[in-house]
Amino acid sequence: MFDVFKKKHICIAHRGYRAFYPENTILAFKAAIKYFDMFEFDVQYTKDKIPVVFHDESLLRTTNVKEIFKRKSYNLSEFTYEEIKKLDNVSWFIKTNPFNKKLDYNILSFPKNSIPLLDEVLLLIKKYNFPANLEIKPSFLDDEFIVNDILQRIEKFEIKHLILISSFNHNYIKIINGFYKAALFDKKTDNLVKYIKLLNVDAYHIDKFNVSKKDVADLLDIGVFTNVYTVNDNLEQKKLFETGVKGVFCDYFS
């Protein structure tokens, strides 16, 4: 069993502690270690096949890419890592304060070019011996290449026991063996138990609008835990835990 699942309930920092720090940055992950049971982050590949930690397919929402490059496409997969390193992914957060929180620290002192390499995040996990959920995002690269590359990097840092791998691309999940893994869903699925058994996963990740008490109970019967995204309200979290949900992904504590 994935060790953190031994706890009665868990709170998972969604893209790090992103209500107070720019999402998917080392800053957000370090903050999450202080307050959460684990953190979640997203991995995708640059044009030159370098795995970086970033959520959106496009760079537009959280970087100044348009100020630096003039392109037809601003998808991360169209940029090399050397180009990615030039981008400011912190200022957008300072300007918008997306969760309207009191940012009582000097975020202006943080480096603006803060899109981490996957290896940097894996090193952080190793240093703090802290569990994390690694979500593999869709890619232009071959599924086998991506899975093998990520698994090799996890093994290199000797943190296999600390990583839960998840994805909406269930072919990735089917390829993975010998690692903790979870299947991501954004809608209800017929014959869920049968399908989950086929994937041979440790956890089922579902959005809060499509989670059902019956599915949670049926999966518990076969030893699979349910984690629900994204739930920031304490009362809503409590109700989910009462149905047997193991964990919730959240941006902050309400």
CA-based nearest residue to 55, from 46, 69, 44 = 44
Q: pLDDT tens for residues 16-46?
A: 999 999 999 999 999 999 999 999 999 999 9
Q: pLDDT tens for residues 118-141?
A: 999 999 999 999 999 999 999 999
Is 238 inside any structural domain? Answer: yes
Is 149 inside any structural domain? Answer: yes
How many whole angstroms separate alpha carbon 170 and alpha carbon 185? 9
152 burial (CB, 10 Å; 0-12 / 13-18 / 19+) is exposed
What is the model's pLDDT at position 109?
Answer: 76
What is the model's pLDDT at position 103?
Answer: 86
CB atoms within 10 A of CB 84: 22
**Quick check: 105 pLDDT over 80?**
no
**Quick check: 153 pLDDT over 80?**
yes
Is 124 inside any structural domain? Answer: yes
Is 171 inside any structural domain? Answer: yes
- The structural domain count of the chain equals 1
What is the model's pLDDT at position 145?
Answer: 98
216 burial (CB, 10 Å; 0-12 / 13-18 / 19+) is buried
Is 104 inside any structural domain? Answer: no
Q: pLDDT tens for residues 191-230?
A: 999 999 999 999 999 999 999 999 999 999 999 999 999 9
Is 183 inside any structural domain? Answer: yes
Q: Tell me the CATH number at 23.
A: 3.20.20.190
Is 100 inside any structural domain? Answer: no
Is 88 inside any structural domain? Answer: no
Per the structure, the complete domain to which residue 213 belongs is given by 3-55+117-250
